[in-house]
Chains A and B, each alone.
Chain A
Amino acid sequence: MIRSTSPVAELGVRAATPPALMVGMFLFFAGHNRPGGGFAAGLIIGAVVALRWMVGLRTTVVPSQLMAAGIVIVAGVALAPVLFGSVVLDQAVWSTSLPVLGKVKAGSAAIFDIGVSAIVVGLVIAVIDGLSPATTSAPEGQSS
């Protein structure tokens, strides 16, 4: 019932994926000054994965590895300042000028946010993977 085999649905999801991911990326970078951020971006990307899952487009990402990577990034950003003689989680801000974009400012908080996104995406995939009837066959006589 859940997993559609409709080619229209599949095509639609395929078409929707790039703009949805764009929205996710936008939210990620917008988070600095406007609503958005790593958590929201992670949810959007996770939702894209879920949507693709429903029409049979599987991802090969292993959720536990993605979350592990996220934790390593987050913990790394947290501990890195200690190596430079600062306190845990101290933030570094770099700014530079790029040819097209003009003045660009980046903080270590952005890297921290990448880790948060990775964990959220991993979580969503883990939940979807766990609940999806496509992989876990439903009890006999109850699925429709």
Chain B
Amino acid sequence: MVLRLAAIPPLVSTVVALGVLLGSSGDAPSLDVSWVPGLDLEFVFQIDSLAALMTLLVSGIGVLVFVYANGYFGPTAAGTGRFATTLLAFSTAMLGLVWADSVWTLFVFWEATSITSFLLVGHKSVDAAARLAARRALLITAGGGLALLAGLLILADRAGTTRLDDMGPVGGTAGGVAAALVLVAAATKSAQFPFHVWLPGAMAAPTPVSAYLHSATMVKAGVLLVALLGPALGETDVWKPVGIGFGLLSAFWGAIGALRHTDAKLILAWGTVSQLGLMIVLLSAGSGKAVFAAVSLILAHAVFKAALFMVVGEIDVRAGTRDISALSGLGSRMPLAAMVAVVSGASMAGVPPLLGFTAKEAAIEAALKMDGLEALVVGFAVIGGSVLTVAYTVRLLLGLFGPSDQPATDIADRRPAMAFPSALLAVGSVLGYVFLGTVNSLVRPAAVQVQPEAEVYYLLRWPGITTAFLISVAIVVAGSTVGWLVFRRPLGVPSPVGAGVVDRGTDGVLSVARFVTGRVQHGSLPVYMAVMAMTVIVAALPFAFDVEPSAIYLWDSPMQGVLAVVVVGAAVLTSGMASSRLGAALGLGSVGVAVSGLFVVHGAPDLALTQLLVETVIVVGFVLGLGHLTRRFPSAKAGWRLLRLVVSVCVGGAVALALASSASNPSGVPPLEDLTVAAVDEGGGNNLVNVILTDVRALDTLGEVVVLAVAALGILALTESGRSRKEEVA
């Protein structure tokens, strides 16, 4: 129920996106919320063509994913409320990222997607593998987020603006550094080699999450970043080689991974690494046709990959496994799922008459239009990557639905809520081909926004017998052969080396932290106190040099002298003489009361009142706490007593020194006049202190009370844990 309700918000934004995309070609809707104007911190959103296309994907597939999740979890599953909330939060973060038009807005939502994705990958929080995978995903993507922050800082500084819209090309060394940082960030998010290691582990997430985050949305964020910042950073020396390098390696390594695994979900995940690599190659190359092909691929990939994830999830739920070597005879038992998978797989392999075909055709033509080394490298990536894509697609489909010598797998009842969304997406792959004109009108403005030269290109329904088409035919033939061969003679499942390296690194950091914490936080209260006291003494020493003896006088009124004697006397009696703890606590309380008397004499009734009340409550706390301890202090050795005495006197002296120094060097006149006027006119009160607390410096108060509350929660947690431990013992 809750999952069905959760489908409503994405449904609304889908309609809005369609309105923007198909509506009048007026100005893009935008929103501008200032946050800290002095620092140019603001939330700036703009739904331009690229953003609208991405919104359509994020929200449209979002609606289907919520419907699908309803079937996936079934009516009795626990935690669907949490799941729906987190998935909606992710969806919101993703929309914020897509709509962002300022580098800071972009960064905030970029990180928000990392955090929500962490929660979603770790949804089955009782599963240690899921927790580990979630941590790995968070560390890599949030680490990339730091690179992004650094890159954006440099970029905003060089470009002289934080608006993505107004950013001109940036060059030079600084531009190169920014380009490298941004590409690393994109590679972490889009799971590019060697940062791809988090994505296979993230398959521990429930399948609706994989269908959403790991096909259509979050992993596309890196690709989107390359598209958004291509205009600003594309002219640096670093951009093309690094971007194409990341993409090329991932296109091949991902496809090889997809050919080796037998877990259908992992095959799709590795395939995603490969496909995203292809998009990054094309976007980094940056020619009009290449950008156009990349944007078409973003659309086509989201549609077919989400459908494939959904089918695999349905098989997982109904057959109890998703390992292609264990499944058998599903082709006749799950005909609809088989049809959806074949259509979507064919779109992924680039077979007509499907949307994937036209996108791949555009990519091949883009490579053919380049010259020299670039044509060679991009052509190699596109053609080689495509051959392997066909191969793992053929292997996946044969493994899921093809012939097998094992007995047919038993399957559970149909789940319409799972079948319907994937079928709709498969139909989308067909309809995209049929209504290619509409797809063109979605893709072209988005591509033009990245690269104006893309204006002249369009997706072709039937290109004729061109070089590109012949290459396409060769790709399908070669890929099918490879796929068939690998299906007959499996390559063997690789061990997750990269993930192991990341985990060992994390564990290493944690054990160092445990070591340091164990040494520094040894738990001895006297040592903590001594360290704090020594710090105060050392910090106060520099003040000794600017004490002005002539500025020091005994007292304003003799009453202060009397109170001072009371304070010192009570303190001495307490620390030195009292043998019972209660006596010491009361003595300290009388010190506090006498200090509040000093405040009264000095004309600060507010301070005095607060001091008196605080002192009272502290004494009460003391008295309650003493109930846990012996009545009298344990006898201490004379040496320890002397040491404590020395430390106490030194701290007292240091504080007195610091005060004397500040009294000898007044730094200007206190702004009493201004504050009084401000308090009465704006704060509407005559008690200056309170107006400062609740109005003039209310932000400080806000921070302080929050600190107070957090400290109190810490106390609660400590005493609660002490109690439960006692109960365990008893």
Contacts and interface: CB of A to CB of B under 8 A. Distances in A.
A143 B630 CA distance: 7
Contact of A109 (B683, B709, B719): B683
A60 interface: no
B686 A33 contact: yes
A119 B614 CA distance: 14
Given A2-B624, A40-B613, A88-B699, A33 B685 contact: yes
A119 B705 contact: yes
A25 interface: no
A139 to B, nearest CB: 7
Nearest to B614: A43
A91 B695 contact: yes
Contacts of A54: 620, 624
B683 A34 contact: no
Nearest to B608: A35
B383 to A, nearest CB: 55
Interface string B665-688: 000000000000000001111110
Interface in B3-19: none
Contacts of A47: 613, 616-617, 620
A117 to B, nearest CB: 10
Given A109-B694, A119-B708, A126-B715, A40 B628 contact: no
Interface string A19-41: 00000000100011111111110
B629 interface: yes
Nearest to A82: B33
Contacts of B690: 31-32, 36-37
Contact of A31 (B629, B682, B687, B722): B687
B606 A37 contact: yes
B718 interface: yes
Given A33-B686, A144-B631, A38 B694 contact: yes
Contacts of A43: 610, 613-614, 616-617
A70 B715 CA distance: 17
B602 to A, nearest CB: 14
A133 B722 CA distance: 13
Contacts of B659: none
B684 A127 contact: no
A55 interface: no
A127 B685 contact: no
B726 interface: yes
A50 B702 contact: no
Contacts of A68: 709
B628 A138 contact: yes
A51 to B, nearest CB: 8
A136 B726 contact: yes
Contacts of A63: 712, 716
A128 B687 CA distance: 31
A130 B718 contact: yes
A123 B709 contact: yes
B705 A122 contact: no
B500 interface: no
Interface string B220-256: 0000000000000000000000000000000000000
A142 B629 contact: yes
Interface in B693-730: 693-695, 698-699, 701-702, 705-706, 708-709, 711-713, 715-716, 718-719, 722-723, 726
Given A43-B614, A47-B617, A142-B629, A109 B687 contact: no
A128 B715 CA distance: 10
B716 A115 contact: no
B712 A126 contact: yes
A73 B626 CA distance: 35
Contact of A35 (B687, B702, B705): B687
Nearest to B685: A32
A134 to B, nearest CB: 8
Given A2-B623, A115-B705, A40 B609 contact: yes
Contact of A74 (B621, B705, B716, B722): B705
B627 interface: yes
B464 interface: no
B75 interface: no
Contacts of B698: 78, 89, 91, 109, 112
A126 B617 CA distance: 12
Contact of B712 (A75, A123, A133): A123
A71 interface: yes
Interface in B605-653: 605-606, 608-610, 613-614, 616-617, 620-621, 623-631
A144 B632 CA distance: 12
Contacts of A39: 610, 693
Contacts of B708: 119-120, 123
Given A74-B702, A88-B699, A136-B722, A35 B609 contact: yes
Nearest to B730: A137
A105 interface: yes
A17 interface: no
A122 B709 contact: yes
B617 A46 contact: yes
13 contacts: A37-B690, A54-B620, A75-B702, A88-B699, A109-B694, A109-B695, A119-B705, A122-B709, A122-B712, A130-B716, A136-B726, A138-B627, A143-B628
Which 10 A-B residue pairings sit nearest by Cβ, starting from the closest?
A130-B719, A133-B627, A43-B613, A109-B694, A33-B686, A131-B624, A35-B605, A123-B712, A32-B685, A126-B712
Given A47-B620, A109-B685, A112-B698, 6 more contacts: A50-B621, A64-B716, A127-B715, A131-B624, A138-B628, A143-B628
Interface of A: 1-2, 27, 31-40, 43-44, 46-47, 50-51, 54, 63-64, 67-68, 70-71, 74-75, 78, 88-89, 91, 93, 105, 107, 109, 112-113, 115-116, 119-120, 122-124, 126-133, 135-139, 142-144
Interface of B: 605-606, 608-610, 613-614, 616-617, 620-621, 623-631, 682-687, 689-691, 693-695, 698-699, 701-702, 705-706, 708-709, 711-713, 715-716, 718-719, 722-723, 726
